Amino acid sequence: MLILLIILITVNIKVSKVKQDISRVEKNLTNVENIKKNLKAFFFDLEIDKSLIQQSVVKNGSSIVLIYKINSNNSDTLLYNLTNFLKHNNFQSISIKNDIISAKKGDILIQFKINKNPYTHTNDYSKNTNQNLKHNSKKMLAIIIDDCGNNLKLAKKLANIPYPITFSIIPHLKYSKETAEIARKFNKPVFLHLPMQPKSYPSTDPGMGAIYLNTPKSLIKIIIKKNVESIGKIDGANNHMGSALTESREKMFEVLNELKNYTDIFVDSHTSSKTVAYNVCKKLNMRCGLNNKFIDNIDDKNSIKEILYKSLSLFQKQDKVIIIGHLKENTIEVLSEELPKISKKNIKITNILEVVN
């Protein structure tokens, strides 16, 4: 009888341990799915194209290894942002070596391997894009360059492109005001690139002068005032990040109501598929626009050129197109080289003020 009792106790202990192990694995798998979901929002908010990311999961007993391989030409910035993400998500033992960042959280090990972007597509889209446009049609292309304010050399290069490209300037940066002065000197439109809360916040910081979902209306007034003062007179505004805030009808009403004191023009950068910013803008009787395409999420000249020409296919269905790029060397070079060719395709490269409605 005693032997039977010992056997039963032993079996119960083993069964209990198996149940605990299963529960532990299930909990870890749930945590991994949450991490993957948060990283998806994180990469989206950093405007990293999903084609540049490879993901794999390796199970080792109750432990799980989550591996990301990322192609990027800006590894320093990405490593910095990934480190912040890991800290905000309570990962421990964070280490960086040779563009590989590793960290651990319980039984979950995560690893990011960053490689230089090997983009190789070389099709010449300039030769076969948009050949079917009617010669009497009035097609207008407006270009906004985001993230201005931190590089005067690139700002001057952008200003020298002989088309009315909009400078969208992040407030409170080292060269925000000087960049605006350069733009005005060359008769380029000046936008406030208004920082707003992304879905991956706080892992992703939208920067100084940002508006969050919990920012009270009274503070929004002060923030926008100081943002505009850091730049000077503005012609319009568009959102910097904002995948979370632009989904909130209430907050967008508060933001745009205050913005109307400085400009009646707002372009929804379209950082969320569920954005309501454009609709709220129209409700407030402002002049509104909606970004149709980001052209440089892959920082490679061939890719930027390809997406630039692909965006022209939108003219088959509409007469006005808005595209957004960023203040990057490759983007400026592509625009400088390709805009003269595009202007010969019966497309007017125009001031954003002509495209908003």
Which tokens hold the place of 315? Answer: 């003219």
3-state secondary structure at position 227: helix
Contact criterion met (CB below 8 Å) for 146 and 168? yes
Write down the residue that tokens 């709220």 correspond to: 280
H-assigned helices in 106-248: 152-159, 176-185, 217-229
198: preceding bond cis by omega (within 30 degrees): no
Which tokens hold the place of 157? Answer: 């290069």
pTM of the model: 0.83
pLDDT higher at 308 or 3: 308
Reference 268, options 279, 254, 283, 284; nearest CA is 279
% of the chain at pLDDT higher than 70: 86
Distance CA 194, CA 241 (A): 8
Average pLDDT, the chain: 89
Distance CA 30, CA 35 (A): 9
For the chain, the farthest-separated pair of C-alpha atoms sits apart, in whole angstroms, at: 99
Question: Mean per-residue pLDDT for 258-269?
Answer: 98
Distance CA 301, CA 304 (A): 5
pLDDT of residue 98: 80
Q: Phi and psi at residue 233, in whole multiples of 5°?
A: -55, 135
Write down the residue that tokens 């432990």 correspond to: 63
Distance CA 322, CA 266 (A): 12
> What are the residue ranges of CATH 3.20.20.370 in the chain?
125-355
**Measured torsion, CA atoms of residues 112, 115, 117, 119, in degrees rounded to the nearest 10:** -100
pLDDT of residue 49: 86
Question: Mean per-residue pLDDT for 229-249?
Answer: 98
Pairing outcome for strands 320-326 and 293-294: parallel
Distance CA 249, CA 139 (A): 32
Pairing outcome for strands 63-71 and 53-60: antiparallel
Range of lowest pLDDT (15-19, 108-112, 163-167, 245-249): 15-19
Q: How far, CA to CA in Å, does 252 sit from each of 208, 212, 256, 278?
A: 19, 11, 6, 9
Fold for domain 23-31+47-118?
Beta Polymerase; domain 2 (3.30.460)
Q: Tell whether domain 125-355 is in CATH 3.40.50.300.
A: no
Within 13 Å and on the Cβ side, how many CA atoms surround 228? Answer: 16
> What are the residue ranges of CATH 3.30.460 in the chain?
23-31+47-118
Which tokens hold the place of 107? Answer: 């039984």
Confidence band of 32 (pLDDT split at 50, 70, 90): confident
